[in-house]
Structure 1
Amino acid sequence: MSHWLIAGASRGIGLELTRQLALRGEQVTASLRAGSRLEALEAALAPAGSRGRLLEFDTRDESAVRAAATQVTEPVDVLVANAGAYGPQRQSSLDMDFPGVLDLLDTNALGPLRVAQAFLPQLRQGQKPRIVFMSSVLGSMALEGTFNLGYRASKAALNKIAQCLADDLKPEGIPVVAMHPGWVRTDMGGPNATLGVEESVDGILRVIDGLTVADTRRYLDYRGQDIDW
């Protein structure tokens, strides 16, 4: 049994990760923001029984993240920083909602790093610690296209943070990867997405289960295939 921390677990991929991990007998700590769908997350955690825990924090609030971390005294084996947003409607290079995109960068790029820093002491105590930043192929600098610039920029920034954290933690044997879950039928991905959430999470878990320090600094999809940075 491993201890997994899923940051951003009230819906979509985070919720399904929580559900599958609880069903397979893992210890699961799952976080959500105030006002999120608590009932769905409680149901997903139910199979874990006493091995399940809920935390409430907004990843934009460093004080709240660090306060939540003090509630977790056990070692953490896997941190999945999944909390994110898609941002405002106006986010092109020709028409930008600057305050909205600035908040998006705070959520998608800096939020995961806040969580990783806050829970690093528990990860250092884990048996096989791993950090996974939930990114997107849209953060690839090699990908063409101009739509949703703010979202793309936030994920590109997250990818650079993943690279730097991977380099900093490699001497400690803690791998850090950026993960693209696929285009998934969730509230964010929309109904026309090509991938069901269960299939995506099945793949994500297989990839995470196999991660070693040799994989650190990789940018992977849910099948374990590398993506160009």
Structure 2
Amino acid sequence: MPNILITGANRGIGLEFARHYTHEGWDVIATAREPGEAGDLAATGARVLALDLADPASVDAFVAELGDTPIDVLLSNAGVMGPMVPDRDGWMDTFAVNTVAPTLLALRLKPNLKAGRLKKAIATTSRMGSIADNDSGGFYAYRSSKAALNAAWKSLAIEFKADDIAVAVVHPGWVQTDMGGPNAMIDTKTSIAGLAKIVNELDLATTGRFWDYSGDEIAW
């Protein structure tokens, strides 16, 4: 069976991704900042590795532990909401986790993706990162970090295409998680069912696009 690497999998959407793919029989490598505290993730049967994207030493250790393991699908899911009221340090921290770290990790894992069979890289973004769709304002740190993530992964899609690696960014919807809150529109199972379909259908003909969990393309 194929394998998938899921970052930020200890709760919410990442955890549901791990449950989905282990249930489908995939080999799942999932990351958490504190594996010892990720009991629900371990219960899925995934191989749980330590990774704190905000800590360069943790990233180095993770990449070293992964070694030359082939990766069929990279699912970059780790992220933070950031400060609601903009401040310099909080804004920069949000960019570090939501934009810089996942992009650098994807670049470092390019050899692993090249060695995989399916050769797919997907980042969880947000419709709030769409400039065209912004009609309510606010959320400066989160919106801008996701817009920057989208731009960076568009570049990855162009660069990685030469190595037959397909890339996409996906909006999971407003989901009932710790980040989305109890009043969100959909549950994690609904979101993951739609996103898994996108992962399955992603190929070089559709690389570099921005998708909603329902399969609709989102304007940048």
Q: Same fold (TM over 0.5)?
A: yes
Structure 2 segments unaligned to the other structure (5+ residues)? none
1:210 equivalent in structure 2? 201
What TM-score do the two structures reach when normalised by structure 2? 0.95
Match of 2:110 among 116, 120, 131: 120
2:99 equivalent in structure 1? 109
Distance verdict in 2 for CA 1:35–1:4, change over 3 Å: closer
Amino acid at match of 1:184: V
Aligned counterparts, 1:22-101, within 5 A: 22-34=22-34, 37-44=37-44, 46=45, 52-72=46-66, 73-90=68-85, 96-101=86-91
Q: Take 2:207 and 2:78, find their aligned partners in 1: how far apart are those partners?
A: 21
1:93 equivalent in structure 2? none
Contact 1:62 1:114 in 2 (8 A): no
Deviations 1:142-184 (A, max 9, x none): 0222121110000000000011111111111111111000110
Amino acid at match of 2:116: G
Q: Take 1:200 and 1:11, find their aligned partners in 2: how far apart are those partners?
A: 14
Deviations 1:78-120 (A, max 9, x none): 0010000001231xxxxx2111111001010112112212221
Match of 1:131 among 108, 118, 121: 121
2:189 equivalent in structure 1? 198
Contact 1:11 1:37 in 2 (8 A): no
Contact 2:35 2:50 in 1 (8 A): no
Secondary structure at the counterpart of residue 177 of structure 1: strand
Q: Take 1:177 and 1:66, find their aligned partners in 2: how far apart are those partners?
A: 25
Q: Take 1:218 and 1:15, find their aligned partners in 2: how far apart are those partners?
A: 24
Q: Take 1:36 and 1:14, find their aligned partners in 2: how far apart are those partners?
A: 17
Contact 2:31 2:49 in 1 (8 A): yes
Query: What's the CA shift for 1:63?
Result: 3.3
Percentage of matched positions with identical amino acids: 38
Structure 1 segments unaligned to the other structure (5+ residues)? 47-51, 91-95
Contact 1:66 1:118 in 2 (8 A): no
Query: What's the CA shift for 1:57?
Result: 1.4
How many equivalent residue pairs? 218
Amino acid at match of 2:97: T
Amino acid at match of 1:70: A
Amino acid at match of 1:11: R
2:132 equivalent in structure 1? 142
1:152 equivalent in structure 2? 143
Secondary structure at the counterpart of residue 167 of structure 1: helix
For the aligned residue pairs, the C-alpha RMSD in angstroms reads 1.3
* In the alignment, structure 1 residue 163 sits paired with structure 2 residue 154: yes
What TM-score do the two structures reach when normalised by structure 1? 0.91
